[in-house]
Structure 1
Amino acid sequence: MATERQARLADRIRVLIAQRLEKGLRDPRLGFVTITDVRVTGDLQHASVFYTVLGDEKARNDTADALRAATGMLRSEVGRGLGVRLTPTLEFIADAIPENAGHIEDLLREAAERDAAVAGLAVGAAYAGDADPYQKPREYDDVQ
C-alpha cells in the first residue's frame, strides 16, 4: 500500500517526465509516448515509469531504446523538479494496456455473438414440460 508521500512523489515524477517528453527529446526514435503510471518504492529510491506508445511494434521498440538512452537526462530533470535529497532511479516499462484492451474487446465481441446465437435458438423453443412448472395450492371445494 502506497503512502501519501509515495503517491505525491510518483504523481510529481509523472508530471515532470510528461512535461519533458512534451518538449521533445533530440532523439528521432522517440514516438508518441503517454506516461500512464509511476510507482515509487517504499524507500523512495526507485521509480517504475509505465508508458504506452502509439504505433506499431517498430515504433514501440524504437521508443523503448530512446527512453533507455535518455534515462540519465530525464533523471536529472526529475531531480531538479523534485527538490528531494536523493533522486530516485528511473526504470521505463512498456504498459500492456492497449494489448489487454484489444483482447478484452475480442472477448466481449465473442460473448455478444454467442448471446445472439442463443437468443436465435430461443425464439422457436418450447417448454419441455408445462408452461408454468410451479405447483399451485389446491383449491378445495367447500364440503358441507
Structure 2
Amino acid sequence: MAGFERQARVADRIRVVLSERLQKGLRDPRLGFVTITDVRVTGDLQMASVFYTVYGTDEEREGTAAALKAATGLLRSEVGRQLNTRLTPTLEFIPDGLPEEASHLSELLREARERDAQVHSLAENASYAGDEDPYKDDDEA
C-alpha cells in the first residue's frame, strides 16, 4: 500500500533531519551523546515517535531527556522546514530500551554457554547407571 511507503519515507526523513540537527548541536549543556535509533509515524502523519539512545550514565540520560523535551519545539520547526509537508508531525522523544535488553540477552547467553560447558564436562566422564541395554529380556540371553 502506498500509505505505508509514505509513512516509511517520512519517518526516515525525520530521522535524518533530527540526526543532522543534533549533530550540529543544541545550546543545552545537558544534551549528551545522542543517537536516533528509529522514528515511527502514525498513518495520518500527525505524530512521530522518535526513539533515541544516550551513551553515558543514568544522570546523562536524564539530562538528555530533559534537553530533548525542552528543544522539542525547535526540533519540530526544523523538521517542518525540511519536510515540505502540509502538516508538521508532533514529536515525542522516547528512550530506546534496546541496548539494555541486548546486554541482558548477551549476559543470559553467556550464562547458558557456561552451563552447557559444565554439563558437557560432566558427561565426558559419565558412565551408564545400569546395563547398556536396559530393555533386553532375560529370555534372550
Structure of higher CA gyration radius: 1
**TM-score with structure 2 length normalisation?**
0.90
Q: Distance in 2 between matches of 1:78 and 1:69?
A: 16
1:87 alignment partner AA:
T
SS in 1 for 2:26: coil
Aligned identity (percent) is 69
Following superposition, the deviation at residue 127 of structure 1 comes to: 3.2
Q: Distance in 2 between matches of 1:84 and 1:77?
A: 12
| 1:130 paired residue number | 132
Deviations 1:52-102 (A, max 9, x none): 000010000000000000000000000000000000000000000121011
Which ranges of structure 1 fall in alignment gaps of 5 or more residues? Answer: 136-144
Q: CA RMSD in A?
A: 1.8
Kindly report structure 1 stretches of 4+ aligned residues shifted beyond 2 Å: 127-131
Q: How do residues 36-47 of structure 1 correspond to structure 2 at under 5 angstroms?
A: 36-47=37-48
1:107 alignment partner AA:
L
SS in 1 for 2:21: helix
Equivalent residues, number? 134
Q: Distance in 2 between matches of 1:46 and 1:134?
A: 68
Q: How do residues 75-90 of structure 1 correspond to structure 2 at under 5 angstroms?
A: 75-90=76-91
Q: How do residues 27-106 of structure 1 correspond to structure 2 at under 5 angstroms?
A: 27-106=28-107
Which ranges of structure 2 fall in alignment gaps of 5 or more residues? Answer: 137-141
Following superposition, the deviation at residue 134 of structure 1 comes to: 9.8
**TM-score with structure 1 length normalisation?**
0.88
Q: Distance in 2 between matches of 1:20 and 1:80?
A: 12
Q: Distance in 2 between matches of 1:59 and 1:90?
A: 21
Compare the two structures and name the one with the higher helix fraction: 2
Q: Distance in 2 between matches of 1:96 and 1:125?
A: 44
| 1:118 paired residue number | 119
